[in-house]
Amino acid sequence: MTAPLLSVRGLTKDFQVGTVFSRRRVRAVNDVSFDLPAGLITALVGESGSGKSTIARCLARLEAPTAGQVLLNGKDVLRTERRGASRAYRRTVQMVFQDPFGSLNPVHRIEHFLTRALVLHGRSAAPEALRELLTSVGLTEDMLHSYPHELSGGQRQRVAIARALAVEPKLILADEPTSMLDVSVRVGVLNLMRRLRTDRDIAMLYITHDLGSARYLADTTMVMFAGEIVEGGDALAVMDAPAHPYTRLLLSAVPDPRRSSGYDPIERARLRDAILNPTACPYGSDGTCSRTEPVRHIVGEDQGHPHWVRCHLRAPATGIANRLLKATDDLKKAETTAA
C-alpha cells in the first residue's frame, strides 16, 4: 500500500449557528480519521449536508478544525503552523471549487490567474510556462487573453485546475468539480483529473454526491453520513458490495431504468428521513441497533485496500449495485463518444 501523503486524525468541526438569543452548536464533522495516499484518487461521497465540504475546507486550511490533527508527510501542521497554512503547505495542497465562475474574478483575463499563481510561488511566468499550463489541461494558448465569461463552464473549470497545477501540488482537493457542468463535458474533466493522477502522481480528494463518477474515477471511496465516515475501501468494492445501510440507500437512489419510478419507495422514504434528519442515525431508532458506538469492521480487501464499515447493521451486498454499474457504463459510453 502507498504511504499516506496526508493523514487526518480525529478531525472535528463545530459551527456556532443562530442569533445571540438562540445560539447553538452544529457538529459538521465528528471525529473523522483517514489517510490520503500519494498518487491515488480518494472519493468522499455523501448527501448534501453530510460534512464533505467542511472536511475539504479544513484540509485547505480555510476553516480551523475544532479538534484533531492534519499530518502532511507525518508533520502535524495544525500544531506547527498555528498562524495559518505555510506557503509550503499551500503549494503542496491545492483546492478546486465547485463553481468555476465564482472562483475566477470576472474582471481579469485567464493570463492573470495563471501568472499570479506562478509568481506567488516564486516560479517563472514566462510565455512557455503559461502555454504549458494551458495545454496540460487541454486548452489552447489563445485562451490566455480571454475573460472567464468568454469560456464555457468546462473550460473555466480547466482554467481553475491549471491554476492549481501552477504550483505543482501533490494533493488536489476537488469539491464537486463537475457538478455545475453539463453532463457532456463532465467526463472530459474527470478524464483530465485521472490523467493528472497517472502522469503527475497527484493525489486527489474527489468530493461528490454522484456515485457513478466516484466509481468511474476513484481508486478508493469513503462514504460520509451525518458528519462521520461510515464506510471505506476500494472504490469498486464499496460501490458493488456496499456494507453500510446508508451506502445502500445512496446506491438505491441511482435511477434504475428498469423501474418506472426510478426509486424503491421504501428506500426512498428512508433516504428522505436520513437527509431531513442528518444528525440522527435512522437505523438506531427501530430498536434493532445497539446503542453503543459501532466500531470498524473489516469486511474484505481489494487491490490492497481494506474494505471497512462502521455499523451494527452491516450487511452483504444486494443487486442495487447493478444500477451503479449502469451509471458507470453510461459515463464510459460518453467518454467514447467524446473521444
Ligand X SMILES: Nc1ncnc2c1ncn2[C@@H]1O[C@H](COP(=O)(O)OP(=O)(O)OP(=O)(O)O)[C@@H](O)[C@H]1O
Q: Report the interface residues with ligand X, using CB under 6 A.
A: 15, 17, 26, 28, 46, 48-54
Give the neighbor-by-neighbor strand order of the sheet with 93-96: 93-96, 171-175, 203-208, 41-45, 220-225, 228-234, 305-310, 296-302
Q: How far is the CB of 265 from ligand X (least distance, A)?
A: 25
**CB distance 198 to 211 below 8 Å:** no
> Which is nearer to ligand X, 51 or 188 (by Cβ)?
51
> Which is nearer to ligand X, 175 or 240 (by Cβ)?
175
Give the three-state DSSP class for 28.
strand
Q: Which amino acid is at 124?
A: S
Q: How far is the CB of 30 from ligand X (least distance, A)?
A: 11
Q: Which run of H or of E encompasses 87?
A: helix 87-92
87: Cβ contacts below 8 Å, ≥ 6 apart = 121
Give 239's strand partners.
none
By DSSP bridging, strand 67-72 and strand 228-234 are unpaired
> Which is nearer to ligand X, 37 or 51 (by Cβ)?
51
Q: How far is the CB of 49 from ligand X (least distance, A)?
A: 4
> Which is nearer to ligand X, 197 or 209 (by Cβ)?
209
Which set of grid coordinates corresponds to residue 135?
Answer: 495545454
Distance CA 78, CA 85 (A): 8
Give the three-state DSSP class for 79.
helix
Q: How far is the CB of 228 from ligand X (least distance, A)?
A: 12
> Which is nearer to ligand X, 99 or 264 (by Cβ)?
99
Q: How far is the CB of 179 from ligand X (least distance, A)?
A: 8
Q: Which of 274, 197, 176, 174 is nearest to 230 (CA)?
A: 274
Q: Which amino acid is at 256?
A: D
Q: How far is the CB of 332 from ligand X (least distance, A)?
A: 25
> Which is nearer to ligand X, 167 or 205 (by Cβ)?
205
> Which is nearer to ligand X, 209 or 323 (by Cβ)?
209
Q: How far is the CB of 191 from ligand X (least distance, A)?
A: 23
